[in-house]
Amino acid sequence: MNPLLTATQLVHWADTWPAQDALPLLVRRLILGRIDPLHIDFPAGDSINRPGYDGLLRTAEASSFIPAGQSVWEFGAENNPKRKANEDYSSRTKTPRTVTPAETTFELAYRVGRPGFLVWAVTLVTTLPYPAAAVSALCSARRGVVADLAHVKTTFGIDVLKCGTAAGML
């Protein structure tokens, strides 16, 4: 198989200035390829340094990775994504500008590169009024639970884990 883009190419591209200029454009095109939004504003190129959110989207329909309703987006490709995500979340919850936080989904997408690992993006979607650190900790705990359940399924050869009671879920 000859992939259009390899993980190595993606890692190197993410470290370039053109990537920062083009990422909002890429996301905008991906959104437009999936849904027909009521409003979309994802400035790219020279406009990435303007004040405000990196993206604003309003849609009547939801799709994979695209929430229904209003959402605001922040992107980053720096070496400390946790710091950047916390700064963006804190800044945007303190000063939400023209959006109503209770009616808006906040999307964070950052490049995370660790030696020996592929690059991955962290997308946090929440309207919960909790500090970013608390939400981040819950997301990290969830990843551990998902990995543990995958291990159980693999070990016992189970395709689907089922539970019939609420107590079995805990």
Q: Could you give the CA distance from residue 150 to residue 144 in angstroms, rounded to a whole number?
A: 10
What is the tens place of the pLDDT at every residue in 26-48?
Answer: 888 888 988 899 999 999 888 88
Give the up-direction half-sphere exposure of residue 97: CA atoms within 13 A in the CB hemisphere. Answer: 14
Average pLDDT of the residues in 104-128: 59
Closest CA to 70 of 108, 122, 106, 118: 106
Answer with the residue of higher pLDDT: 44 or 140: 44
Backbone angles phi, psi at 44, to 5 degrees: -130, 175
Helix, strand, or coil (residue 98):
coil
Task: Give the Å distances, CA to CA, from 151 to 102, 134, 141.
Answer: 37, 26, 16
What is the tens place of the pLDDT at every residue in 91-109?
Answer: 888 888 888 888 888 777 7
Q: How confident is the model at residue 119 (pLDDT cuts 50, 70, 90)?
A: very low
Tell me: pLDDT of 167 over 80.
no
Chain position carrying tokens 């998902």 = 146
Backbone angles phi, psi at 75, to 5 degrees: -120, 160
Closest CA to 57 of 122, 104, 110: 104
Q: How confident is the model at residue 123 (pLDDT cuts 50, 70, 90)?
A: low
Q: Could you give the CA distance from residue 119 to residue 112 in angstroms, rounded to a whole number?
A: 6
Tell me: pLDDT of 118 over 50.
no
